[in-house]
Amino acid sequence: MPDIGPIAVFGAGSWGTTFAKVLADAGREVTLWARRREVAEAIAGDRVNPDYLPDVPLPENLRSTSDPRVALDGADAVVLALPSQSLRHNLTAWRSLIDPTATLISLAKGVELGSLRRMSEVVVEVLGVPESQVAVVSGPNLAKEIAAGQPTASVIACTDHERAIAVQQACTTGYFRPYTITDVVGCELGGACKNVIALSCGMAGGLGFGDNTLATLITRGLAETSRLGVALGADPMTFAGLAGLGDLVATCSSPLSRNRTFGERLGRGETVQQALAAAHGQVAEGVKSCSAIRELALRHGVEMPITEVVHRVCHDGFDPREMAGELIGRKTKPER
């Protein structure tokens, strides 16, 4: 099994910076690419990311640049920590710079609008690599907690299990414990759908509903995510693990979750535009992905009522105050 050498991390947001720190703490040679030069210079000079993790010292072996050529020079692996809806555009621009044999590692959690592709599918399509060359990282990975060294576990999914193990070894630290699976479909759908369910949980919290409502949305959200996953060929057991239930609970429950806090603003009566302004540019992936996931479910004949309601709130002007009645008033049925 080949060892992974130098690693380029593209995307200096909270999670990209944190994962770059994890790799550096694991002893890897890491270069973090930031879109804005001033962020790259601050990381290089002050050893902090001033925009996203201003209180977290970054390791000395973590380099930074705003030049993709510099980041990709000699990189054995390329980590993609970019918003799901901009991944294709950026990859297309960098395609000629990426080593055709490099391991591609996706941190993005979403489904592309229009194509309805998962992120690994976008990578395969744009770069022309086999799916076995693409790994996916998912799990209960709230960036600020991991950056602070709080213990967590994660999942590395790749159809090539040996490659998954290589990525696992590259990012194992005393606080970050990755497991491996080969179910890329389930891992990616769990990561994408949990953002949508977290929006619904945030709306419920903003409306003043309590823990019973939260538990109901998490549980039924897991059920509809699993239905879609099984329809697309995922292993149903994946959704009971870290990439399913683990990620879902963290994202739906934590005030650190962008999707949860975005949903809370909607539940308190703010418009989508007001909530976007309050987020200061940080992306709540579920706002766009809910439409793609809804379309994917319709295409495969899968019922996803929570996703449907979230889409209507975010894009059709549906009032969140009507959400509970819409969901509770559905036709009664057995749980399974």
15 touches 162 (CB < 8 A) = no
- Alpha-helix residue ranges (DSSP H) falling in the chain: 14-25, 37-46, 68-72, 87-94, 119-127, 143-147, 161-170, 184-206, 211-231, 247-253, 258-267, 272-278, 286-299, 305-315, 323-328
* Maximum C-alpha span of the chain: 60
Q: Which two tokens stand for residue 188?
A: 């990616």
Q: Give the neighbor-by-neighbor strand order of the sheet with 77-80.
A: 62-65, 30-33, 7-10, 77-80, 103-106, 134-138, 152-157, 176-181
Among the listed residues 21, 109, 194, 288, the single catalytic one is 194
29 touches 100 (CB < 8 A) = no
The CA distance from 299 to 116, in Å, is 10
The count of C-alpha atoms lying within 13 angstroms of the C-alpha of 171, restricted to the half-sphere facing its C-beta, is: 30
The CA distance from 200 to 283, in Å, is 16
Place of tokens 């009566």: 269
Q: Which two tokens stand for residue 267?
A: 């539940």
81 touches 108 (CB < 8 A) = yes
| DSSP conformational letter for 236 | G
* 194 tagged catalytic: yes
Q: Which of 12, 78, 75 is nearest to 42 (CA)?
A: 12
The CA distance from 291 to 275, in Å, is 18
The count of C-alpha atoms lying within 13 angstroms of the C-alpha of 23, restricted to the half-sphere facing its C-beta, is: 27
Residues recognised as catalytic: 194
